[in-house]
Amino acid sequence: MWAYLVRRLLLALVAISGVLVIVFFLSHIIPGDPIAAILGPQAPDYVIEDLRHRWGLDRPIPEQFVRFVGRLVRGDLGTSIATKRPVISDLRQFFPATIELATTAIIVGALAGLAVGIISAVAHGSWLDHTVRFLSLIGLSMPVFWLGLILLLVFYYWLGVLPGPGQLDIFIARPPSVTGMILLDSLLARDSVALRNALGHLVLPALVLGSHALVGIARITRASMLEVLGQDYIKVARAKGLAERTVILRHALKNALLPIITVIGIYYGGLLEGAVLTETVFAWPGLGRYATSAILSQDFAAIMGVTILIALIFSLANLVVDLAYGFLNPKIRYE
């Protein structure tokens, strides 16, 4: 088990290094000028040249790469050209908001997706199954951006039961930052006003973001459950007179879980990358908007910082999913 873990971590390191090399060179060779993009059309050329020199962007690309790697091994992700702050500070500020949103979204998506998938599989071929599949198709086809705006229109503007854009009402003081996540920080500060308000603000973006995960998880749950429900041991369980609920939840679901866990892991990794459209509609100060703005302005240090973070997230998500297999299926051995 430990040997497996070490081997997987080393492999992850190789994969992350590969991703870094590719992203670094790709981002540097595509046309565009980050300094010009940030300063806009009106800054004089000599200001652009001066800043390009100050940021080391006038050096050959291989030299810039060596400098980047040199900083990286010292734990320095560099400074963002756009925000003028260390990238690590930016990530520390924006990533917690994304963790908070993505975690809530995946909980909503996974729980609802499992429930919908199981119901659909058990009622296979019935009107209930068809309805669920039809709604899933609609859910999958609905653009996140549009869904977000519709929910804002209905629950914020028409009904007035949920707050509008933002992570917290502007009149409410943000609790002291410990984790950077408002929910946790509110709990730690025992600030019930901020907690309730932050929860309210989380509902719509989490629903929007969770809806796509919900549909994907529901579909894989249904397919996996249908396969398992056709197995002989399920017939035996039923023949033994076990209650249908026991057959479904204890025997069928447990054996159907492996692909479902994989999909949940992939979705969670994807959500942690940040969801730029959801974050934009709901004014959520997360990683998605930071990453998009970095890409649009060719903010190299920020692009590399976000790349490292995303590569780490996916490597860890994959590892956790693989380890979860062992707990769910004792036949799996790590060698």
Partner 1 sequence: MRGRYYLALLLLVVLALLPATAGGAPGRVPQNVLVIGRIIGDVVSLDPAEAFELTSTWIDEHLYETLVEFSRDFTRAVPGLATSWTVSADGKTYTFTLRSGVKFHSGNPVDAKAVEFSLRRAMRLKLQPAFILTGFIKNPEDVVAISANQVRITFNQVMPEILMTCVLSNPVASAVDPALVQKNATASDPLANKWVAENDAGSGPYILRRWTRNAVIELVAFDDYWGGRPRMGRIFVQDIPEPTAQLLALQRGDVDMVTDLLPAQFVQAAKEAGLVVKTSPQFALRYLAMNVGYEPFSRVQVRNAVKWAIDYTAFRRIFEDQIDIGQTIVPARMFGHLPDRPYSKNLDRARALMREAGFERGFKAELLTVPDPPLPDIAAKIKEDLAQIGIEVEVKVLRSADILAAYRGRTHQMVIARWGADYPDPDNLATALADFDARVLAYRNQWDHPIKRTVQQAVQELDRAKRDAMYRQIQKVVLDEGPYVIIGYPLRLLAMRANVKGLDPSPLSVTYGMWGVVKE
H helices of the chain, where? 2-29, 34-39, 45-54, 61-73, 87-122, 127-141, 144-151, 182-188, 192-229, 232-239, 244-246, 254-272, 276-281, 287-296, 300-328
Question: Which one, 15 or 203, has the nearer CB to partner 1?
Answer: 203
Token digits of residue 130: 């068809």
Helices (H) and strands (E) in the chain, counts: 15, 0
Q: Which of 1, 26, 178, 249 binds partner 1 (CB under 8 A)?
A: 249
Smaller CB separation from partner 1, 2 or 46:
46
What token pair was written down for 280?
Answer: 């934009």
Q: How far is the CB of 122 from partner 1 (least distance, A)?
A: 11
Q: Is 144 in the site for partner 1 (CB under 8 A)?
A: no
Instruction: List CB contacts of 63: < 8 A, sequence separation 6 or more.
Output: none
163-192: which residues touch partner 1 (CB under 8 A)?
163-171, 174
The only residue of 29, 42, 232, 335 in contact with partner 1, by rule CB under 8 A: 42
Contacts with partner 1, 148-167, as mask; x by CB under 8 A: -x--xx--xx--xxxxxxxx
Q: Which of residues 57-116 bind partner 1 (CB under 8 A)?
A: 82-84, 93-94, 107-108, 111-112, 114-115
Q: Nearest distance from residue 230's CB to partner 1, in Å?
A: 20
**CA dist list (Å): 240 to 73, 233, 234, 245:** 61, 10, 10, 14
d(CA 150, CA 116): 23
Q: How many CB atoms lie within 10 A of CB 279?
A: 25
With respect to partner 1, which residue has the nearer C-beta, 18 or 176? 176
Kindly identify the residues of this chain, within the stretch 212-241, that bind partner 1 according to CB under 8 A: none
| Spatial distance between the Cα atoms of 327 and 132, rounded to a whole number of angstroms | 30
Q: How far apart are CA 110 and CA 112, in angstroms?
A: 6
- Looking at the DSSP bridge assignments, the partners of residue 86 are 79
Residues of this chain, 18-37, that bind partner 1 according to CB under 8 A:
31-34, 36-37
Shortest reach from residue 264's CB to partner 1, in Å: 13
Applying CB under 8 A, the site for partner 1 has a residue count of: 73
CB of 94 to partner 1, least distance (A): 7
Among 267, 268, 282, 300, binds partner 1 (CB under 8 A): 282
Q: Is 330 in the site for partner 1 (CB under 8 A)?
A: no
